Amino acid sequence: MMDLNFLHPYFLGPKAENLDCFERFLLEFLRDHAYWRRNFHPGDGNVVPTSAPYRDAFQDFIASMRKELQELSAELKNAAPFYSPRYIGHMNSDLLMPGLLAEIMTMLYNPNNVAAEAGPATVPRELEVGWQLARMFGYNTDPQKGSVVAWGHLTSGGTIANYEGLWNFREVKFYPIALATAARVTGIDFESVGPLRRRLSEYSSWELVNFSIQDTVKLLEESSKQVNAMALSDGELQRFRNQIDRETLVGLGHADFFAKHREIRPPKVVVPITAHYSWDKAVKVLGLGLNNLVLVKTDKTMRMRMDHLQELLAGFEKDRVPVLAVVGVLGSTEFSSIDPIDQIIDLRDEAMDRGTYFGVHIDAAWGGYMCSLFRREETNQFCQREEVGEDLKHFPSEDTYEAFKAVGESDSITVDPHKLGFLPYPCGAFVARNMDVVDFISQKASYLYDIKDDRGTKNRYDKLLNLGQFIMEGSKPGAAAAAAYVSHRVIPLNKHHFGRIVKVTIKSCEYFYSKINHLAYRMKKRVLIKIPFFPQTNIICFAINPKNNRHLALMNFFGRKVFEKIKINRFKPLQMKEFIGSYTSMVKGKIDDELASEVLADLDIDPQTFQTDVIDPRRQADHIFLFRHSLMSPWLLHRFEGKNYIDHYVAYLERMIHEELDALGESS
Ligand SMILES: *Cc1c(COP(=O)(O)O)cnc(C)c1O
């Protein structure tokens, strides 16, 4: 068994064991803040007189404030007990003390990370968090080591980070066309700058939408140098810049842009069927069209199927449809499956050789922090597979290992510090391999064509301090940046520190897996219990089918009955719950029929009973109901009364299944 002692100082603890320490820190920094106030112009005297608390109106106000706060405090306790190892539901757990303390302490100062002026301590820390994450992913952060340097920033969550991934790709992808059109109109043409081997005006639209991100960045940089060397008059320069701005996709809007460039079709966004629903929202919000979101089938481990992806991409290439992005999921929300990132990268590189390009974005909202388990402390080198798998039975499989190894070759990544980073909401992050992409976002790209305008030529890093110009959000919490920064400083993102927490979650999942299999064996006379997808990381799903039942509707009904016991019910006190879990459904139409049939056959269910046209809620058969557990709590392997929490849960589950089977027997 694993030694969990290292975790003891990390969290407040399920029983608030570290309350004393937590309180002392809070008090220290609360007072520190108060003295800061007092020492700013100490001679000013008090505004709130010392006699104020003795007035009735003051007392009344305090009383009403106390009442409201107490009510709030009482109702907050209806929340799921995320801190408890009895909570094995969604992606929530106890929070890291350093993060929580930094967050609360920073909130007193209310920094706004829209710009360094409003968050002088927290904006630089936010950028540093971006680099900490980038290094964990294997992106270059050192300008000495290469011209492509990564950057990252925090968002309200993975959803916004996913939007940003597409937004960034779109602005870069359609820039060369805008530049070429402006060049044609103004008569300013370019040759042999950046990736150009011919004059810019000689490139076809298809070629221009297939420039790589790196090439487009170079094109912008070097064409601007050439323009600056042309010594144009102010008027000519202004005209050129205005023309570019007018010709961009965001300048014209989608409708006019594609009407003007009829030879170019609106682009596709390719995601696996396991993709989070934020991808649906992303294409809606960005006006790309739900119709252009293309779903790739998965294999029976819920990983994206490469043969299907390849087939789709070949079709688009043949029909000359640009592909904006292929999104690989690193740790899917429902199954924590790991898409073959390495093979997606290979496909991108092969496509590049043929003159087509798509960006690769990794949605690692859940799995991003698992990368810490693969990095050595001193050198940040990627570890050998055996090294990663020490103390573990299955993880990382060869496929998983290769996928993680290729993460640094993607173009951008979404990661949620408020999930597996154990930090408070809101804290998502967007990390991009090439920081120069921000020039296309700030709507200042055309300003680069004028050396006299310091907005374009400012130091590459300094400009990032005006964060709000390059991201979706405006005003945003500096406290979240403080939390992530302090947490990453004291628990660095490598296998010797943060990686150990990740390892505990994976170990818990492996243990859970073996226990469910034991349970299935013990109960085989009465029920079939199956784990349809071997858990690749730290989320596990299983289904329970009463023996001899062949109808999906009944299996779903039975599953839901048992699930009632571990489901949050807002009309019942949570204290009455032994454990709290979550579920997922594989919906007909979304999941591939072939795959569904395999899963159902394994459960002895007749695949014909998987159908959409049954309305009776007791007979729902348009989905496959699965128990789903995120094994994120760091304390699941803690033992009491001779067993750990997983043992206790599985024993409880066994009792509940018997109970429901008995009830089912009586009712039939
Ligand atoms: C949670 C999640 C998201 C959405 O993130 P939010 O922080 O909830 O906005 C996106 N993708 C994946 C894979 C997720 O697990």
pLDDT (tens digit, 9 = 90+) per residue, 319-369? 999 999 999 999 999 999 999 999 999 999 999 999 999 999 999 999 999
Q: What is the mean pLDDT of residues 295-305?
A: 95
Residue 452 scores a pLDDT above 80: no
Q: Ligand 1: which residue has its CA nearest to atom 3?
A: 158
Give residue 457's pLDDT band: very low, low, confident or very high (50, 70, 90): very low
Q: What confidence tier does 443 reach under pLDDT thresholds 50, 70, 90?
A: low
Block residue for tokens 């993607």: 410
- What is the reported pLDDT for 3? 87
Identify the helix (H) or strand (E) that includes residue 592. Answer: none
Q: Is 3.40.640.10 the CATH number for 122-163+266-490?
A: yes
Q: Minimal CA–CA distance to 228: which of 190, 181, 178, 201?
A: 190
Q: Is residue 322 packed enough to be buried (19+ CB in 10 Å), middle (13-18) or exposed (0-12)?
A: buried
224 or 541, which is more confident? 541
Q: What is the mean pLDDT of residues 527-532?
A: 97
Which residues have C-beta atoms less than 6 Å from ligand 1? 157-159, 162, 276, 278, 329, 332-333, 363, 365-366, 416, 428
Task: Summarize pLDDT for 156-180 with one digit per residue, the tens.
Answer: 999 999 999 999 999 999 999 999 9
pLDDT, residue 456, reads 44
pLDDT at residue 667 in the model:
72
Domain spans of the chain? 122-163+266-490, 175-247, 502-667
Instruction: Give 214-265 pLDDT, tens digit per residue.
Output: 999 999 999 988 888 888 898 999 999 999 999 999 999 999 999 999 999 9
Length of the chain: 668
The percent of residues in the chain predicted with pLDDT above 90, rounded, is 88
Q: Calculate the alpha carbon distances from 93 to 58, 576, 630, 662 in Å.
A: 40, 20, 10, 34
| Cβ-Cβ contacts under 8 Å for 404 (sequence gap 6 or more) | 330, 338, 341, 370, 371, 374, 396
- Which tens digit of pLDDT belongs to each residue from 355-404? 999 999 999 999 999 999 999 998 999 999 999 999 999 999 999 999 99
pLDDT at 576: 87
CB 135 within 8 A of CB 431: no
Residue 481, pLDDT > 70, answer: yes
Q: What atom of ligand 1 comes closest to residue 364's alpha carbon?
A: 13
| Average pLDDT value over all residues in the chain | 94
Residue 567 burial by Cβ neighbours in a 10 Å radius (0-12, 13-18, 19+): middle
Distance 276 CA to ligand 1 centre (A): 6
Question: Helix (H, G, I), strand (E, B), or coil: what is residue 355?
Answer: coil
Ligand 1 atom closest to Cα of residue 428: 7
Question: What is the reported pLDDT for 454?
Answer: 44
Ligand 1 centroid–CA 585 distance in Å is: 17
Rounded to the nearest whole angstrom, what is the distance from the C-alpha of residue 153 to the centroid of ligand 1?
16
Question: How far away, in angstroms, is 239 Cα from ligand 1 center?
Answer: 43
**3-state SS track over 54-95:** HCHHHHHHHHHHHHHHHHHHHHHCCCCCCCCCCEECCCCCCC
Question: What DSSP state is assigned to residue 490?
Answer: H
Question: In the chain, how long is the greatest CA-to-CA distance?
Answer: 91
Tokens, residue 484: 């992530």
Cα 159 to ligand 1 centre (Å): 6
pLDDT above 70 coverage of the chain, percent: 96
Phi and psi at residue 205, in whole multiples of 5°? Answer: -60, -40
Pick from 163, 164, 166, 278 the residue to mutate for probing ligand 1's pocket: most ligand atoms within 8 Å of its CB: 278
Which residue's CA is minimally distant from atom 15 of ligand 1? 333
The tokens for 270 are: 């390719």
| Rounded distance from Cα 518 to ligand 1 centre (Å) | 32
Rounded Cα distance, 127 and 438, in Å: 13
Atom of ligand 1 nearest to the CA of 157: 7
**445 has pLDDT over 90:** no
Q: Which of 298, 335, 419 to mutate to test the pocket of ligand 1 (most atoms within 8 A of CB)?
A: 419
Residue range 43-96, pLDDT digits in tens: 999 999 999 999 999 999 999 999 999 999 999 998 899 999 999 999 999 999
Q: How sure is the predictor about 442, in pLDDT bands with cuts at 50, 70 and 90?
A: confident
Question: Kindly report the CA angle at 455 between 453 and 460, in degrees rounded to 5?
Answer: 125
> Ligand 1 centroid vs 156 CA: distance in angstroms?
10
pTM for the full predicted model: 0.96
Closest Cα to residue 536, out of 330, 357, 267? 330
Question: Hey, which of 163, 276, 582 would you mutate to test ligand 1's pocket, going by the most ligand atoms within 8 Å of its Cβ?
Answer: 276
Which of 280, 333, 335, 472, when mutated, tests ligand 1's pocket best, judged by the most ligand atoms within 8 Å of its CB?
Answer: 333
Ligand 1 centre from 158 Cα, in Å?
4
- Sign, CA dihedral 435-437-442-448, equals positive
Ligand 1: which of 281, 298, 414, 472 to mutate, judged by most atoms within 8 Å of the beta carbon? 414
